[in-house]
Structure 1
Amino acid sequence: MTATSSTDGRSKTELVVNEIAQELRTLADGVAWFSGLSPAGQREVLQQVSGYAMQAHITAADGRAGVARSGVKPTANPSVMICMDPPRYGFSGLPADEYVKAFRVLVSVFAVADTRRRQTHCKNACGHPWHNLPSTSSETEQP
Structure 2
Amino acid sequence: MASGNALVLVPILWVVVAVGWVPMLLSERLRDLCGRWPTGRVFLNYPLLATVVVATHVLIFLAVGIQFPAGSPLLPAWAFGSTFLVVVVSWLIVAVVLPVTRDVNLPANSRLLLAAGAVWYGVLVSIVFAVLALLLFALFFPG
The structure that has the greater radius of gyration is 2
> Do Structure 1 and Structure 2 share a fold, with TM-score over 0.5?
no
Q: Which has the higher helix share?
A: 2
